[in-house]
Amino acid sequence: MTFLSKVRDAFSGSPGPAGPDGYRAYAIGDIHGRLDLLEILLAKIEADIVSRPRSENFIVFLGDLIDRGPDSAAVVERLRTYGPGDATTVFLSGNHEEVMLRILAGERGGLLADWLKFGGAECLASYGLDPTALATKGEAAALKAIKAAIPKTHAEFLASFADTFRFGDYLFVHAGIRPGLGIADQSQADLRWIREPFLQEDTDHGFVVVHGHTISSTVEERPNRIGLDTGAYRTGVLTALSVEGNERKFLDTAPD
């Protein structure tokens, strides 16, 4: 089927991309430290599972659990210990998890200063550290303090995350893919960080890419990709996509 045929199908109601038979997947966009929104969305997903019990379920977290919002530590602990009896959880790594892990590994050369500016300050405050005081320390002392403050169990949990999850005709990933390359040839950097040329590319990848990373005011649903980062940390809207067979639906925390 040509790409234009897929576009026509998407708008004509004809069968399009599908998940594997007998399975349903829920993909959750960037949480960014908003425990309050996470709890609301998990409750909606769990209620949806109960109301439609015929499938086996996956709940896929698209990365960027941490930074920017006020409750990164609590989000990590909640999900580290989250074990719904009627769903399998899948965690994908975002660029923000990557940076935290690099900091915990002791990387120097300005990474810490950059992280503090794009969400690390709020994350460290949730672990009981004073970001302003940290900034006045030498780099080595600051890195040592951060490593002491963040539980090893949290670091191990974040380090266990995968980069992709294939679900039938869908590929779940944090940021996107490099157009023209197969999954096996994608770089980890692109999977966690890419924006262009992925966002504007309209070619058929062979699957629909479901991603977060790039904020949009509403879900971006295109024939070759679906963007789920609705800017939860600043908008109050955390969004999830449900895929079952040829059917899609969205759940979110926007006021009714």
pLDDT value of position 135: 87
Q: What is the pLDDT of residues 124-160, one digit of tens each?
A: 999 999 999 998 999 999 999 999 999 999 999 999 9
CA 164 vs. chain centroid, Å, equals 11
Residue at 18 is within a domain: no
41 in any annotated domain:
yes
Residue 7 has pLDDT above 70, yes or no: no
Q: Is 215 helix (H, G, I), strand (E, B) or coil?
A: coil
Nearest to 207 by CA among 240, 242, 183: 183
- Write the pLDDT tens digit of every residue in 38-84: 999 999 999 999 999 888 999 999 999 999 999 999 999 999 999 99
Rounded Cα–Cα distance for residues 213 and 105 (Å) = 23
Is residue 222 domain-resident?
A: yes
Question: Looking at residue 54, what is its pLDDT?
Answer: 82
Per DSSP, the residues of 230-248 read --HHHHS--EEEEEETTEE
User: How sure is the predictor about 195, in pLDDT bands with cuts at 50, 70 and 90?
Assistant: very high
Q: Is residue 16 part of a domain?
A: no
Q: Is residue 152 part of a domain?
A: yes
Q: 0.85 cut: is pTM over it?
A: yes
How many domains does the chain fold into? Answer: 1
The answer to whether residue 53 sits within a structural domain is yes
Domain CATH number, residue 76: 3.60.21.10
DSSP lists the bridge partners of residue 89 as 59
Domain that holds residue 220: 3-11+24-252
- The answer to whether position 19 is within a domain reads no
